Structure 1
Amino acid sequence: MNLSPAHLGARLLQDRRSARAPIWLFRHGLGWLFGGRVLLLEHVGRKSGEPRFVCLELVERPEPDALVIVSGFGRRAQWYRNLEAEPRCHVSIGTRRRVPALARFLSAEESAETLGRYATEHPRAWQQLRGVIEEAVGHEVAGLPMVRLDLLPERT
């Protein structure tokens, strides 16, 4: 039985109940517990038209109202495909809740540059994250698709 951190992390990512647990915290106003490293993305299902929710790690914050997230499962991740169909979404991060946002998909070059900066600035976190992703998808990770979320002014 494999009990490596990467294997255990991959199992948690693949378990629906574990992966969705942080959503409960965000919905109850406790997103600040993640210290701005994790966000709740509310998007629209491309087939159902229903609201969908996923918690994702923040990779970079190039500007105060711009967040970059990565799809560890590539372009096949449901949230990624949903944003392709409808880039308007809402983001909760820290103490901010349901801020309107617009998704923009980074090019392969932009993604590689961003991932390079992340790996340099957070080498241990990248090593762990990469191990978990590779264990979950079953192959080496060369490049990962990234999405920039531009937070829009909130309506009053």
Structure 2
Amino acid sequence: MNEKEGFIDDFPRPGSAEYGLLLAKKEEKKKTLKQWKRLNKYFTIPLYRIGILPLFGGGKIFLLLFTKGRKTGKQRITPIEYRTKDGIIHVVSGRGKTAHWFKNLIAHPEQAKIKVGFKKYAVNFEIIQTIEEKNALFKWYVVKFPKAAKMLFGWDPKNDKVEKADFTSFSELVEVVKFSPKE
């Protein structure tokens, strides 16, 4: 990175969680995915189910997405980091269109439910289509949550400048979904 000119390398950067899922070598991708699956299976989902994670604030970061499996028809539960902007819940599919939860959501949109904190409800969703809207969301994200942005895609809060950041390459790799309650 050329700090003098304020030039920003492409995101995600090496060492970040998203880099491990999207751009690393095949074996590294498998390792990263396995770590996330293990964390979700043995930590996040069980703590959410028994009410501990929402009780201690985990419901402000993670939601549980309930989908119907596109192949098996079984209910699938996926913990996903979310952020609320302008009253709308936003989630990022870190693996883009290849994420199983994303494929299940597309296959059975009428079955989608989320649990935020202690509240579970059916939802409608919209996939953000434009790169510009995704870029605006990521710029908002790095301002509001710089530490999370550092871990997720390599944002450097001390050296990176929001006004010079270009998230286009990252926006092309991921999908962003907006959830709203069904009426």
TM-score bin (small chain): 0.7 to 0.9
> Letter of the aligned partner of 2:99 in structure 1?
A
Q: Give 1 or 2: higher strand fraction.
A: 1
Q: Offset of 1:17 from its aligned partner?
A: 2.0
Q: Does 1:28 pair with 2:56?
A: no
Distance 1:61 1:31, change over 3 A: farther
Question: What is the DSSP-based 3-state SS (H/G/I as helix, E as strand, rest coil) of the residue aligned with 1:25?
Answer: helix
> Letter of the aligned partner of 2:51 in structure 1?
G
Deviations 1:6-63 (A, max 9, x none): 47xx556532222322111222233413041110101111111111011011133321
Q: 2:128 aligns with which of 106, 115, 125?
A: 106
Deviations 1:81-101 (A, max 9, x none): 1111122311111221x2111
Equivalent residue, structure 2, for 1:17 = 38
Equivalent residue, structure 1, for 2:159 = none
CA RMSD of aligned residues (A): 2.7
Q: Does 1:92 pair with 2:122?
A: no
Separation in 1 of the partners of 2:99 and 2:59?
Answer: 25
Separation in 2 of the partners of 1:93 and 1:14?
Answer: 25
Separation in 1 of the partners of 2:125 and 2:68?
Answer: 12
Q: Does 1:152 pair with 2:161?
A: no
Q: Does 1:50 pair with 2:74?
A: yes
Question: What is the DSSP-based 3-state SS (H/G/I as helix, E as strand, rest coil) of the residue aligned with 2:64?
Answer: strand
> Letter of the aligned partner of 1:57 in structure 2?
E
Q: Offset of 1:5 from its aligned partner?
A: 7.2
> Does the 8 Å CA contact 1:71/1:77 hold for their aligned counterparts?
yes
> Does the 8 Å CA contact 1:31/1:92 hold for their aligned counterparts?
no
Tell me, which stretches of 5 or more residues in structure 1 are unaligned?
A: 132-140
Q: With the length of structure 1 as denominator, give the TM-score of the two structures.
A: 0.75
Q: 2:150 aligns with which of 121, 127, 130?
A: 127
> Letter of the aligned partner of 2:34 in structure 1?
Q
Distance 1:69 1:106, change over 3 A: same
Distance 1:12 1:31, change over 3 A: farther
> Does the 8 Å CA contact 1:31/1:39 hold for their aligned counterparts?
no
Q: 1:142 aligns with which of 170, 177, 182?
A: 170
Deviations 1:67-91 (A, max 9, x none): 1100111111000111111223111
Separation in 1 of the partners of 2:103 and 2:93?
Answer: 10
Aligned residues: 139
